[in-house]
Amino acid sequence: MADGDGPVMDLFRSQPMQLARIIIPMESAHRAISYLGELGLFQFKDLNKAKSPFQRTYATQIKRCGEMQRKIRFFRDQMYKAGVSASKISYGSVITLDELEIKLGELESELIEMNANSEKLEHAYNELLEYRLVLKKMGEVFNSAQKNATAQHKEQEHRRVEGSIDSPLLLEQEMTTDSSKQVKLGYVSGLVPRDKSTAFERILFRATRGNVFLKQDSIEEPVIDHVSGQKVEKNVFIVFHSGERAKSKVLKICDAFGANRYPFTDDIGKQHQMIIEVAGKLSELKTTIDVGQHHWSSVVQAISDQYEQWKNMVKKEKSIYHTLNMLSYDVTKKCLVAEGWCPVSATNQIQKTLLQATTDSNSQIGAIFEILHSKEAPPTYFCTNKFTSAFQEIVNAYGVAKYQEANPGVYTVVTFPFLFAVMFGDWGHGICLFLATLILILREKTYSSQKLGDIMEMAFSGRYVIIMMSIFSIYTGFIYNEFFSVPFELFGPSAYACRDSSCSDATTIGLIKVRNTYPFGLDPVWHGSRSELPFLNSMKMKMSILLGMAQMNLGIILSYFNGKFFRNDIDIWYQFIPQMIFLNSLFGYLSLLIVVKWCTGSQADLYHIMIYMFLSPMDDLDDNQMFMGQKYLQLLLLFLALIAVPWMLFPKPFLLKKQHEERHQGEAYVPLGAVDENLEPELADGSHGGHEEFQFSEVVVHQLIHTIEFVLGSVSNTASYLRLWALSLAHSELSKVFYDKVLVLALGYESVVILVIGAIVFVFATVGVLLVMETLSAFLHALRLHWVEFQNKFYEGDGYKFDPFSFALIGDEEE
């Protein structure tokens, strides 16, 4: 195929590729690789596979770039923390890699220092906040206790003065007790997490055998713990104890439960003084923190303005050094030698790029570009655009085409969305799918620069596939005449009407044809009639068989042009021709009967015809005869189908053996170029040691496997296309159920509430089931029909993809 025949020809087979060698002087090597990365049309081969990554020439530079990338990732985390996004437009001036390395180090050190200082200040600030809460809550507790004590003391004095005989003896004894003998209690105060407060109280009681008094008070709002930095719900506590031993136990328990302790005094004057001091320190710390935060934000904002420029620069430099490590170093000539694949059409571009690199590097010696001859299989390179790339990825998911192998992606552009639409056909659902995908296409510049979720990213990548699926769904929806399962007379009135003017229910008494046939698609009168389901069932099943036969015949024809099985006259006469005869003698004839029945309106039973074509081929057809000479045609096709099987099985092994003997009679054995590719490794073993005996039994077994596989595959693949009928019918019936049992049922009630609820349920059911689940189901079934039933006829898919060194391809890789 000539080069440059057009975009379709470029997509049908791989671009012509060539193996080239580039000899680059050391002084211009870096710039040359950089320019080739901008061009993106040269795939480098690794000429240093024997060396580990650490033994290669530019390992130090790669390590250096990796350290710079670590610093850039640190800046990204700081930007995320500040809520700042990277600017798409870089405002900084162009700097060298050495200057960037120094600048990144300085900025990292500055940010680390600011973060450490900020963390210390935040720790002190949160600690003072907790201290203020303790002072406030404990002050309230002590004030309340003192008021109660004063009131109780006054009451006791009052009772003593009155000398009431009802006064308790113990109270009088307590009042007369010497104050010098009273025990002085100590106390510990602080905050404890609320979820641990119950356990904290229990352990205190058990450890001290109940010889402490615990008072707790909850704090309404969560506080930031100065140790963990997280918001935690806490309780203020104070523990009264007696003696140093009890105090030691209390302190240990506080540490075990993560309770923060703070000093407190029962002197009211000192309490007010402490509160004032804490408030002053909080104000000073708040001011300091705000100033530091403002400075930190300004530094991060300055980094965000140049973040993309720095990230891309380091990423490019690292990829350049990775590529330079794949080149071999010529010590004598002091140059680097590169080998790799490139399209033949890109030769002039690569040479101009190398010349430009030499000029810009002020090198006295130019780079040398030369073509090499190799028996190695070249990579596969298809020229795709944003429309065809998604269809090509569907094919590549099955396997990358071998070099110069016919590409199924050309046909997939049309056949994939069409087979999807056969199963999904509804022009209402198709319009919804079209509008949703149209948004992705109109906003593709915005979405392409954003990080989307996994599902959204998948939908965005296949936006042109989905919009083609929606367009074909609208087309098949017009054919099925279904708009959310509702028929419309879009192309004229129905061709059928009631038998007489008194007819009121056409679905029960029958219809007669009163006009010309409905011009396009299914007549709307069939929807809702008693014959609707049997008619649609029959029509869609027969249509599935026709589509399947068309695609399978296309696959066999492509295998002839592709050379998967047919490499010489033996393959053409004893494999291609009998395959076409066998397939079309049976299922091709069935397709012919379907078309004839549709055109003539015959009432013949196709099941009866195909079954008794095998069981009783000599019997008369009677009512099942659809055209003159049908019986004799069936006998001829049955005879051809029976002959085609041994025709595929027996002649080819004997002819290959004869061909082998003629070629190698009296001479050394050379591998047969005409033998099937699957046999070549077996026949070529030991070929360098002279003549080898032809393995006739292996060839016979191989041909037997091929024959059985094709015969059984013809039946199973034809049956597999009936999934088009099954899924189309299921989609139509589901849509009808949602419409009749939800929307129409809600309209029958004279209630706005029920109508709104019914409409909401209908919308969610339509979107969730029909537009999401059914779309995915039809997509997967269309994928299977292409991979298994279509591509296995001609497509090997065991090549490897052209993967050039390109900055555009590494731009979106994650660090």
Residue 77 reports pLDDT greater than 50: yes
Tens digits of per-residue pLDDT, 27-60? 999 999 999 999 999 999 999 988 888 888 899 9
Lowest mean pLDDT segment, chosen from 151-165, 265-279, 397-411: 151-165
What pLDDT was estimated at residue 416?
95
What pLDDT was estimated at residue 684?
42
CB 41 within 8 A of CB 383: no
CB 74 within 8 A of CB 109: no
What pLDDT was estimated at residue 222?
83
Within 10 A of 595 (CB to CB), how many other CB atoms are there?
11
What pLDDT was estimated at residue 440?
93
Kindly state the average pLDDT of the residues 244-250.
Answer: 87
Distance CA 476, CA 536 (A): 13
Q: Which distant-in-sequence residues (6+ apart) come within 8 Å of 502 by Cβ?
A: none
Lowest mean pLDDT segment, chosen from 98-107, 208-217, 686-695: 686-695
Q: Which residue has the higher pLDDT, 134 or 508?
A: 134
What pLDDT was estimated at residue 670?
45
Lowest mean pLDDT segment, chosen from 62-71, 679-688, 727-736: 679-688
Kindly state the average pLDDT of the residues 376-391.
Answer: 92
- Provide the 8-state DSSP code for 240: E
Tens digits of per-residue pLDDT, 662-678? 877 655 444 444 444 44
Tens digits of per-residue pLDDT, 735-752? 999 998 898 888 888 888
Kindly state the average pLDDT of the residues 702-717.
Answer: 91
Of the candidates 672, 678, 645, 641, the one whose C-alpha atom is nearest the C-alpha of residue 656 is: 672
What pLDDT was estimated at residue 492?
84
| Burial of residue 561 (number of CB atoms within 10 Å: 0-12, 13-18, 19+) | exposed
What single letter denotes the amino acid at residue 237? F
Q: Give the predicted TM-score (pTM) of the model.
A: 0.77
Angle formed at CA 261 by CA 257 and CA 263, multiple of 5 degrees: 165
What pLDDT was estimated at residue 10?
64
What pLDDT was estimated at residue 155?
74
Give the helix/strand (H/E) hosting 239. strand 234-241
What pLDDT was estimated at residue 677?
46
Maximum C-alpha span of the chain: 146
Please, which pLDDT band fits residue 255 given cuts at 50, 70 and 90? confident
Residue 295 reports pLDDT greater than 80: yes
Residue 229 reports pLDDT greater than 80: no
Kindly state the average pLDDT of the residues 119-123.
Answer: 88
Coil, strand or helix at 373: coil
Residue 6 reports pLDDT greater than 60: no
State residue 802 phi and psi, 5-degree precision: -70, 120
Beta bridge partners of 23: 337, 368
Kindly state the average pLDDT of the residues 208-228.
Answer: 81
| Burial of residue 364 (number of CB atoms within 10 Å: 0-12, 13-18, 19+) | exposed
Coil, strand or helix at 218: strand
Q: Per the structure block, which two tokens stand in for 744?
A: 């129409």
Residue 138 reports pLDDT greater than 90: no
Residue 681 reports pLDDT greater than 70: no
Share of the chain above pLDDT 90, in %: 40
Within 10 A of 250 (CB to CB), how many other CB atoms are there?
23
Average pLDDT score over the chain: 84
Dump strand ranges (E) for 28-134.
Answer: 43-44
Residue 415 reports pLDDT greater than 90: yes
Q: Which residue has the higher pLDDT, 217 or 701?
A: 701
Q: Which residue has the higher pLDDT, 109 or 142?
A: 109
The phi-psi region of residue 124 (left if phi > 0; otherwise alpha if psi is between -120 and 50; otherwise beta) is: alpha
Interaxial angle between packed helices 774-784 and 723-738, expressed in degrees from 0 to 180 and rounded to the nearest 10: 170
Distance CA 261, CA 632 (A): 106
Tens digits of per-residue pLDDT, 303-319? 988 998 899 999 999 99
Kindly state the average pLDDT of the residues 445-470.
Answer: 89
Kindly state the average pLDDT of the residues 160-187.
Answer: 55
What pLDDT was estimated at residue 772?
92
What pLDDT was estimated at residue 451?
79
Please, which pLDDT band fits residue 265 given cuts at 50, 70 and 90? confident
Residue 785 reports pLDDT greater than 90: yes
Distance CA 56, CA 50 (A): 10
Kindly state the average pLDDT of the residues 538-557.
Answer: 91
Distance CA 782, CA 476 (A): 15
Residue 330 reports pLDDT greater than 70: yes
